[in-house]
Structure 1
């Protein structure tokens, strides 16, 4: 990709949004360290300049000379002009199923890398189906799920594979989110995440159609097969009850593992994703919320109600009013991973073992608020990694999930030094 005509390394699109605002101090910090140039983009030049002034005062440095670009998702020409000025676009404008494709299109046409924090499976897989070949031709990387969905889970499995000396057969991930100290009033996550989840269910039929085209061949089914646990259950690695996690983590992990199998001839790791609820009453509450959410999301009138009253339908977990700074500072998360496999390494991806797994490993990915602390650090560092470690990315451009895209880079190490920490808990002999 030629960058001679580009005067900026990074442009953050949607800089005045809730996630964009929290990314700016990190972009300023890392760009100074690495001598990178950056700018902001959005619909309102006035709001962008006002925000840069406000942010500069908060972090103690002048941002008056940061370039401001006016771009609107409803105006493709402005998006192309924006993309033409940068090496990579950090896209913070969701829901991506509605607003993501025009930005991806502009980036592919202008030869510009692109990262976002989408947790919307339909959007991510539709972009892979539609733009992967074009992105390869242009040598650009289009990488979604670079936030809480799904860096901890997808890169967590990659971390587990790297630390497992042998052949990893299966892995489970268990998410836990909690608030330190006394509970703080207000929602835990902002409205955008809820909005994306509502529309994601509405796209279920379209997603199946995309997958039939994108993945015409099934991955091999290796024994022993990892069975999903659909009922609430206990796990010795975490406190409370464990339930299936219905987010996009599993789909993202599967995309990465498919690529490892197809491109690198590696045996794919089977994965199941879960989350924890501390009490059985919480299990009942979450089950009721999930059932109501699923029913209402099937119909347009139901989706309208879910979007109008997120606090009521989520029992206060989501709200149109963003979480307070106090709340954000107190919320923590961890993703616990447990994997099983064999001590020996199979040289052929299609070979089978005739003995049960004889080795286990557990790890943990943890950090500050999943929606803001972890997400913003992951997004900014992912963008920087694309343009500073291009030689360690997949051999050609394309539309990729983060696990496969960043497997050979130093992103895990960079995250571990900042907001998202990776650690091995134990390795155990099962023989």
Structure 2
């Protein structure tokens, strides 16, 4: 099932899995017509009947008749249908995951058709595989393939670039602390859908293969240099004053994606790379210890066929109800909040040479905040839709001077107004404090 954004000459199509793409429809309907825009959009998926049903449901929800929205039947198992779909659009928003299994055919079709592609994956191995495969071909076609345009990557990656741009001096390192909270009582159902859980378990079960693929990626695309002092990544829980909580290592795609952005900025924009650490914040030490223990258990179980089967079959049991095969309730997800704390260190002096070694400790600290509501789906849908609109309307400001490429969001949108648009629509990026260190 899916929904889409488009220009009058050709539509941008959001291909969506059952839940995320459906939630995108109100955002597309709203933002495609804002500020004098008149972007057309459509939906794509395997079943025309289900697509029309979803359009009717969401149209009723936003009090809008969506009967005229274009519906395209396409199946990732049918390459010809993928290509037909891609040829009818200027941009595809792909919400069909797990991307390790279903993402590549969509990207292949988009690159062949000369159609931009945006998705919401948090699977770093998939992103790197697409960069390996389409790095040259995407640029030759002038096509942008930008993954990670959702909750998992946009706040950290774009937030780090935002901090770089606002830091008066030379930013050296950033630690990020992600805080997810539920307001107004306990949830009555799951807070994230089964597809997210499925992707996570498959990531754990394929860990060794992913590391081999990552080695190949790092041999092809060099990591940015790490200038001293090296940012330590603390695997043990520790208390963080600015976030008022205990850390858990946040071993998601965020660090990998941020590193790719920093590599691009270093190689192409003459910008000194920033080291990034990512942590999850929990209120109590016991919670942090439980989460670490649970992830270790999941990692062990996922290595075995039976263990993986149990994890995928009984998500509600293993996540204490945070995920299940049932659809998250609207009231629950709308009452969630995202707060992402940034703590940056650097020097108050501006260093002109990106490769210059600085032989003194950092003498300046800065704190920043990214926050929003309904992070799993509301903010994610907002990220997806606004990245798509920005790509279409500010192509000349995109990375590689509008000539396309396979890129992470921070690098891709660094020179656009995406952060300003997010600020106007409920996801705020702000500098909280600056301090000189002795």
Between the aligned partners of 1:218 and 1:194, the Cα distance in structure 2 is: 29
Which has the higher mean CA deviation after the structures are superposed, 168-177 or 215-224? 215-224
Secondary structure of the corresponding residue to residue 346 of structure 1: coil
Could you list the runs of 5+ residues in structure 2 that have no partner in the other structure? 1-6
1:390 aligns to 2:392 (yes or no): no
Please name the residue that 2:80 is paired with: 77
Secondary structure of the corresponding residue to residue 315 of structure 1: coil
1:420 aligns to 2:422 (yes or no): no
Question: What are the equivalent positions in structure 2 for 1:393-404 lying under 5 Å apart?
Answer: 393-395=398-400, 396-404=403-411
Deviation at 1:421, TM superposition (A): 1.1
Please name the residue that 2:257 is paired with: 252
Question: What are the equivalent positions in structure 2 for 1:162-311 lying under 5 Å apart?
Answer: 162-216=165-219, 217-311=222-316
TM-score (norm 2): 0.95
Deviation at 1:184, TM superposition (A): 2.4
Whether contact under 8 Å (2:178, 2:279) holds in the other structure is: yes
Deviation per residue, 1:377-419 (Å, 9 max, x gap)? 0011011111111000112211100000000011111111113
Between the aligned partners of 2:428 and 2:378, the Cα distance in structure 1 is: 12
Please name the residue that 1:315 is paired with: 320
1:345 aligns to 2:350 (yes or no): yes
Say which of 106, 109, 121 aligns to 2:109.
106
Between the aligned partners of 1:243 and 1:12, the Cα distance in structure 2 is: 34
Secondary structure of the corresponding residue to residue 140 of structure 2: helix
Deviation per residue, 1:75-99 (Å, 9 max, x gap)? 0101100000110000011000000
Question: What are the equivalent positions in structure 2 for 1:139-178 lying under 5 Å apart?
Answer: 139-178=142-181
Deviation per residue, 1:279-333 (Å, 9 max, x gap)? 2221232122111111012223221111001111122221111221110121111
Between the aligned partners of 2:227 and 2:263, the Cα distance in structure 1 is: 13
Between the aligned partners of 1:323 and 1:239, the Cα distance in structure 2 is: 28
TM-score (norm 1): 0.96
Between the aligned partners of 1:277 and 1:73, the Cα distance in structure 2 is: 39
1:40 aligns to 2:43 (yes or no): yes
Between the aligned partners of 1:329 and 1:221, the Cα distance in structure 2 is: 40
Secondary structure of the corresponding residue to residue 185 of structure 1: coil
Between the aligned partners of 1:31 and 1:100, the Cα distance in structure 2 is: 25
Secondary structure of the corresponding residue to residue 178 of structure 1: strand
Say which of 375, 384, 393 aligns to 1:379.
384
Which has the higher mean CA deviation after the structures are superposed, 243-252 or 112-121? 243-252
Q: Number of residues paired by the alignment?
A: 426
Between the aligned partners of 1:155 and 1:300, the Cα distance in structure 2 is: 38
Question: What are the equivalent positions in structure 2 for 1:10-21 lying under 5 Å apart?
Answer: 10-14=12-16, 17-21=18-22
Secondary structure of the corresponding residue to residue 41 of structure 1: strand
Secondary structure of the corresponding residue to residue 90 of structure 2: strand
Whether contact under 8 Å (2:224, 2:262) holds in the other structure is: no
Say which of 59, 63, 66 aligns to 2:62.
59
Between the aligned partners of 1:19 and 1:171, the Cα distance in structure 2 is: 30
Between the aligned partners of 1:289 and 1:160, the Cα distance in structure 2 is: 33
Please name the residue that 2:341 is paired with: 336
Whether contact under 8 Å (2:255, 2:276) holds in the other structure is: yes
Please name the residue that 1:410 is paired with: 417
Between the aligned partners of 1:211 and 1:294, the Cα distance in structure 2 is: 18
Tell me how large the CA RMSD over aligned residues is.
1.4
Deviation at 1:6, TM superposition (A): 8.0
Secondary structure of the corresponding residue to residue 122 of structure 1: helix
